[in-house]
Amino acid sequence: MMREALVDLGAIEANVETLRRAVGGVRTMVIVKANGYGHGAAPAARAAVLGGADWLGVVDIDEALQLRSAGIDTPMLAWLHDPAQDFDEAVAARVDLGVSYLAQLDRVAAASGVAQVHLKVDTGLGRNGAAPRDWAAFFEAAAAHQRAGRIVVRGIFSHLAGAGMDGDAAQVLLFEDALAVAGSFGVEPELAHIAATGAALTLPGSRFDLVRLGIAAYGLSPFDDTHTTALGLIPAMRLSGTIVSVKRVTAGTGVSYGHDYVAPRDTTLALVPLGYADGIPRLGSGAGPVSINGITYTVAGRVAMDQVVVDVGDDAVAVGDRAIFFGDPATGVPSVGEWAEASGTINYEIVTRIGPRVTRRYTP
């Protein structure tokens, strides 16, 4: 494959098993939004279920329905909806709905069938979810809809800002208040959940009944690479391109747009057909690592839309060799984290932006 994201499904399965042990028996929802963090939603979802995931989480109903169409039957939650969303199809497909405000709750309750809902409360992230001043009315309405048989409240959930341990702990306390307010209206669902990977691993008091695991299921850390290794997680994606051209050039040859890189000596340039259209960050120009035949080089000059150039010096590199941008660092290649660092971003952004021209290939 000229551009390939090789995804190790066994790694995702093993990571989910490892994480289930690490969180001590609470239920797990593996998050496969954004095309499974770039890994492919349906294959990632199947691997997660093999690893013991009890739930799958996606952002929107389209993502959920695609998984249902792929034959994936696992309980599933979707939590970000178009204001004009028609909820009938999701209810019919048994997709649980995250609900964030009263008018949305009324619309979900009006859908045909009985919607299974998870009420979302904002405990300090400032995004979706009912604000504390609206909790009483929100839970009262939910209780009324539930009594009328229009909805079943399966969960109450929130999301952490990750603004330090104290910030997360304060959000957990406020979440407990929300559960108490809900309880006072007779809303006592089976699943309270607030923790994503970060808190699930570091703040046991945040685990409640279920944890939502995204990044770590793919073998990446919400903190830094050392955590991944310490837990024994395996990065699941290896991104590579075939070297499509190799040539000798003389010292002083400028490389790529703007000649930000000039060959300091006579050297060999290798051309790799991945660029920013494929998710290689342009901010990684002159900085991102690329491994060829076991040696790690740095991208020479600017990342272009479709390609990057690597200066391999006098090393023997041939057309058809593979240039690996990132993979499992235990195999001697750069990590996703190194690319993130080189580009001023986070590992999440690197893997989720791998573009559609890159062929996903799967190993069991």
Ligand X SMILES: *Cc1c(COP(=O)(O)O)cnc(C)c1O
Active site residues: 33, 257
Name beta bridge partners: 289.
298
- For ligand X, which is the closer residue by CB, 33 or 302? 33
Nearest distance in Å: CB 219, ligand X: 12
- For ligand X, which is the closer residue by CB, 78 or 151? 78
| Selected range binding ligand X among 45-53, 212-220, 265-273, 280-288, rule: CB under 6 A | 212-220
**Burial status of residue 115 (CB atoms within 10 A of its CB: 0-12, 13-18, 19 or more):** buried
- Tell me: does residue 118 bind ligand X (CB under 6 A): no
Nearest distance in Å: CB 316, ligand X: 40
- For ligand X, which is the closer residue by CB, 108 or 309? 108
- Tell me: does residue 119 bind ligand X (CB under 6 A): no
- Tell me: does residue 196 bind ligand X (CB under 6 A): yes
User: Rounded to whole angstroms, what are the CA distances from 249 to 107, 241, 265, 310?
Assistant: 65, 22, 9, 12
- Tell me: does residue 159 bind ligand X (CB under 6 A): yes
Nearest distance in Å: CB 95, ligand X: 15
Residues contacting 67, CB < 8 A, separation 6+: 32, 41, 42, 45, 56, 58, 76
- Tell me: does residue 289 bind ligand X (CB under 6 A): no
Closest to 60 (Cα-Cα) out of 42, 82, 84 = 82
DSSP annotation of 231 reads H
Nearest distance in Å: CB 197, ligand X: 3
| CA 259 – CA 153 distance, rounded (Å) | 60
- For ligand X, which is the closer residue by CB, 272 or 350? 350
| CA 210 – CA 200 distance, rounded (Å) | 9
- Tell me: does residue 20 bind ligand X (CB under 6 A): no
Query: Which residue intervals of the chain are DSSP H helices?
Result: 9-22, 33-37, 41-50, 61-69, 88-92, 102-110, 135-147, 164-184, 197-202, 225-231, 336-342, 347-352
DSSP helix/strand/coil, 331: helix
Nearest distance in Å: CB 126, ligand X: 13
| CA 270 – CA 31 distance, rounded (Å) | 37
- Tell me: does residue 38 bind ligand X (CB under 6 A): no
In this structure, the dihedral spanned by the alpha carbons of residues 80, 84, 88 and 91, taken in order and rounded to 10 degrees, is 10
- Tell me: does residue 40 bind ligand X (CB under 6 A): no
Ranked by CB distance to ligand X, the top (closest) residue is: 214
The residue within the footprint of ligand X, chosen from 19, 31, 49, 274 (CB under 6 A), is 31
| CA 210 – CA 166 distance, rounded (Å) | 21
| Selected range binding ligand X among 40-48, 110-118, 183-191, 210-218, rule: CB under 6 A | 210-218
Q: What six digits make up the tokens of 137?
A: 């009315």
The residue within the footprint of ligand X, chosen from 51, 222, 334, 337 (CB under 6 A), is 222
| Selected range binding ligand X among 63-71, 107-115, 192-200, 300-308, rule: CB under 6 A | 192-200
- For ligand X, which is the closer residue by CB, 141 or 215? 215
- Whether the CB-CB separation of 40 and 70 falls below 8 Å is answered with no
Taking only Cα atoms into account, the Rg of the chain, rounded to an integer number of angstroms, comes to 23
Count of chain residues binding ligand X (CB under 6 A): 11
- For ligand X, which is the closer residue by CB, 230 or 319? 230
Nearest distance in Å: CB 73, ligand X: 21
Residues that bind ligand X (CB under 6 A): 31, 33, 159, 196-198, 212-215, 222
